[in-house]
Amino acid sequence: METKIDKILERYDNSGRDYLIPLLQEIQDKEGYLSEEAIVKTGKKLKIPTSKIYGVATFYNQFRFEPVGKYHIMVCRGTACHVLGSATVLQELESTLKIKAGQTTRDGLFSIEVVACIGACGLAPVLNINGEFHAKVTTEKIKEIIENYRAKEQ
């Protein structure tokens, strides 16, 4: 059976090593993460050993090997956010959702990822949930934000 991954790979016929990272990025973009199947198939396509692909993929922060939640929360931990209290924000978020950074809630709704800098330092501390920015987040705001997303689901 032809899967989504095969469809993506079709467009990379005769591609060289320099297409490895763009290809992995595209797969993650469509699938949400890099599955074992994706990595093995990519290896066959580009004629690179699977171990080498894992070597590259684990080196970069962007790649994930587990599916993420429906709402993926990126917590910015840049300098400006840190100075304005992002550590407390992260802590509050973790205790509200009862998961640690890098994990997904059991119902599959939320996952937390810590990122180096989103580049919106003027609005620090910042959260990005599925591409939507939440500026100047405080511990009080966290509950409200999470409740809003939960309400959408019901």
Partner 1 sequence: MDNSIKKYLENLAKSNAKGISVALPEKNIDSKKTTVFIGAGTCGLGAGAAKTKAAVEEYFKTNKIDGEIIEVGCIGFCAVEPIMDVKLPGMNRVSFSKVTADKVSTILDNAFAGKIDKDSSLGQFKTEGLKSWDSVKEINEHPFFVKQKRLVLKNCGIINPTSMEEYIQNGGYAGFIKALTSMSGEEVIDTIEKSGLRGRGGGGFPTGTKWRLAFKTPSDQKYMICNADEGDPGAFMDRAVIEGDPHRLLEGMAIGSYAIGATVAYIYIRAEYPLAIERLKTAIKQAEEYGLLGKNIMGSGFDLQIKIKMGAGAFVCGEETALMHSIEGYRGMPSPRPPFPAEKGLFGKPSCINNVETFSNVSEIILKGADWFSSTGTEKSKGTKVFALSGNVKNTGLVEIPMGTTIREIIFDIAGGIAFDKKFKAVQIGGPSGGCITEENLDIQIDYQNLIAAGAMMGSGGLVVMDEDTCMVDIAKFFMDFIQRESCGKCIPCREGTKRMLEILQSITSNPKPGDNNQALERFQGVLQLEKLAKVIKDTSLCGLGQTAPNPVLSTLRYFRNEYEAHIFERVCPAGICKDLRKFRIIVDKCTGCTACTKKCPTDAIIGTKKNPHFIQEDKCIGCGACYETCKFEAIEMY
Q: Site for partner 1 (CB under 8 A): which residue of 59, 151, 153, 154? A: 59
Please tell me the distance from the alpha carbon of residue 114 to that of residue 127, in angstroms, as a whole number: 10
Q: Are 53 and 43 spatial neighbours (Cβ–Cβ below 8 Å)?
A: yes
The 92-131 site mask, x for binding partner 1 (CB under 8 A), equals ---x-------------------xxxxxxxxxx-x----x
- Measured from the CB atom, the residue of 81 and 97 that comes closer to partner 1 is 81
**Residue 14 interacts with partner 1 (CB under 8 A)?**
no
Q: Which two tokens stand for residue 126?
A: 């910042």
Query: In the complex, what is the shortest distance from the CB of residue 141 to partner 1, in angstroms, rounded to a whole number?
Result: 13
Query: In the complex, what is the shortest distance from the CB of residue 150 to partner 1, in angstroms, rounded to a whole number?
Result: 21
- For partner 1, the binding residues in 64-93 under the rule CB under 8 A are 77-84, 91
List of long-range contacts for 27-32, beta carbons under 8 Å, 24+ apart: 28/62, 28/63, 28/64, 30/4, 31/4, 31/5, 32/64, 32/67, 32/68
